[in-house]
Structure 1
Amino acid sequence: MLNLLLMMGVFAAAFIVGYLLISKVPALLHTPLMSMTNAISAVTILGAVILFSFPTTVSEKIFGGVAIVTATFNVVGGFAITDRMLKLFKEKEIKEKKL
């Protein structure tokens, strides 16, 4: 139980620090930042999958499942948004070449 409380405390602290840092990032850096958060979420997915390879309690399985779902949502959404942003730049380059 102590380990779970410690992990929840680390998660809360990381959430607050991450929010404060990301809120100060200029708009031009959002695409590289999205790529980085996709990589972090992939590590989260791997950690949750590793968690399921050991005997765990029901609460640990629930937290691991939530971690997999939310990190997967972040990865898929991040790639979709990054792809849309890159397509906007490609269309702009094509229009400039035609002129």
Structure 2
Amino acid sequence: MNETVTLLTIFVLSVFVGIEVIAKVSSTLHTPLMSGANAIHGVILLGAIIATGSSDGALPVTLGVVAIVLAAVNMVGGFVVTDRMLQMFTRKKPAAKREDVA
């Protein structure tokens, strides 16, 4: 029971710290920071997999699976947004003129 309270306290405090850190980032820096955050999301996903694999009860496994799904969606979404951002900066190739052969 004491370990559960400690882990819950760490989780709640990390949520508050995360909200404060993200809220302080200006909007012009937010998108470039997402590409760096994708690596962090990968670490979170790995941690969720390890924590779920080492748990025994039904509730921790269920919460772990939910954490894995949410972390995977968050990581893939970050890569999609980063890819769209990088496409904005690539030059489009001019369309080749098509010659009709008769």
TM class by shorter chain equals: 0.7 to 0.9
Distance 1:31 1:65, change over 3 A: same
Distance 1:2 1:25, change over 3 A: same
Counterpart check, 1:33 vs 2:36: no
- Percent of residue pairs bearing the same amino acid type: 42
Q: Which amino acid aligns with 1:62?
A: T
The equivalent of 1:57 in structure 2 is 57
Structure 2 Cα separation of the partners of residues 45 and 56 of structure 1: 19
Give the alignment's TM-score, normalised by structure 2: 0.77
Give the alignment's TM-score, normalised by structure 1: 0.79
More helix by share: 1
Q: After TM superposition, where is structure 1 displaced by more than 2 Å over at least 4 residues in a row?
A: 1-5, 51-55
* Deviation of the 1:64 alpha carbon: 0.8
Q: CA RMSD in A?
A: 1.9
* Deviation of the 1:44 alpha carbon: 1.6
Count of residues in correspondence between the two structures: 93
Point out where structure 2 has 5 or more consecutive residues left out of the alignment: 93-102
Higher mean C-alpha displacement, 30-39 vs 55-64: 30-39
Does the 8 Å contact 2:34/2:82 carry over to 1?
A: yes
Structure 1 Cα separation of the partners of residues 13 and 4 of structure 2: 14
The equivalent of 1:72 in structure 2 is 72
